[in-house]
């Protein structure tokens, strides 16, 4: 370049007209025709709508009085939650929690169904569904616990307002017969424990002292 300048000192540099860059009218715009057809149409997806604060093993929808409900079993908690659609809040809400305990007797499966208002039930599995066997008045009950102690079969119906009722199974009638009351405040659970050929029943209390009962045999012939 220096040689060129020296040889032609009077030759002016050619003027280059400042040209404006060409504007592409499609620049910055997405060409819809270049996208796959899948992105042009709405696609289905599952979006999280609501979480329930408990673990469950199975879910079963059902209709009741013209409304859709959902039953969710919680075997580890020993209860079944019933949900319904809340039209005001636009969400599912649990309107009932039913405590259920099961036991076996003569090869049949039974459940003790707890109700806080109304009657608690003993139900037997009939091959395709549970059928009512016996009703017990249970206003204020939060637990209906079956217990097997030796050859005896019991069912303890706790009560928050009164004495808890202990029922003993009568093989002749095939029903549970009330035979004892327990003064345990707001019981929430009963459990049997065998230690050194002795049988104990623990009664967990929500408001008072947790109590331990010993299973004894009273001689009425004396």
Domains and CATH numbers, the chain: 54-215 (2.120.10.80)
Q: What is the pLDDT of residue 101?
A: 84
In terms of DSSP bridges, do strands 79-86 and 152-157 run parallel, antiparallel, or are they unpaired?
unpaired
- What is the distance between the alpha carbons of residues 20 and 23, in angstroms, rounded to a whole number? 9
Q: What is the pLDDT of residue 4?
A: 46
In terms of DSSP bridges, do strands 79-86 and 211-214 run parallel, antiparallel, or are they unpaired?
unpaired
Going from the first residue of the chain to its last (222 residues), give the mean pLDDT of each consecutive group of 10, the final group possibly shorter.
47 51 56 54 85 84 84 76 88 80 88 87 85 91 91 93 94 93 90 93 90 90 70
Q: What is the pLDDT of residue 32?
A: 47
Q: What is the pLDDT of residue 126?
A: 85
Q: What is the pLDDT of residue 23?
A: 57
Find, among 209, 97, 114, the residue nearest to 155 by Cα: 114
């Amino acid at each position: 370049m220096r040689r060129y300048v020296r040889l032609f000192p009077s030759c002016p540099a050619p003027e280059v007209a400042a040209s404006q860059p060409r504007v592409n009218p499609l620049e910055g715009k997405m060409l819809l025709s270049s996208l796959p057809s899948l992105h042009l149409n709405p696609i289905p997806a599952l979006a999280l709508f609501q979480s329930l604060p408990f673990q469950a093993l199975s879910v079963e929808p059902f209709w009741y009085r013209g409304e859709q409900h959902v039953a969710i079993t919680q075997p580890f908690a020993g209860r079944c939650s019933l949900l319904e659609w809340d039209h005001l809040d636009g969400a599912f809400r649990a309107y009932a929690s039913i405590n259920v305990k099961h036991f076996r007797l003569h090869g049949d499966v039974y459940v003790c169904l707890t109700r806080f208002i109304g009657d608690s039930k003993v139900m037997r599995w009939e091959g395709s569904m549970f059928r009512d066997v016996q009703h017990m008045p249970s206003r204020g009950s939060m637990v209906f616990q079956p217990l097997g102690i030796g050859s005896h079969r019991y069912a303890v119906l706790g009560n928050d307002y009164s004495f808890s009722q202990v029922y003993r199974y009568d093989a002749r009638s095939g029903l549970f017969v009330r035979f004892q009351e327990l003064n345990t405040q707001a019981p929430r659970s009963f459990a049997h424990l065998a230690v050194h050929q002795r049988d104990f029943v623990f009664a967990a209390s929500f408001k008072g002292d947790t109590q331990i009962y010993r299973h004894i045999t009273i001689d009425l012939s004396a």
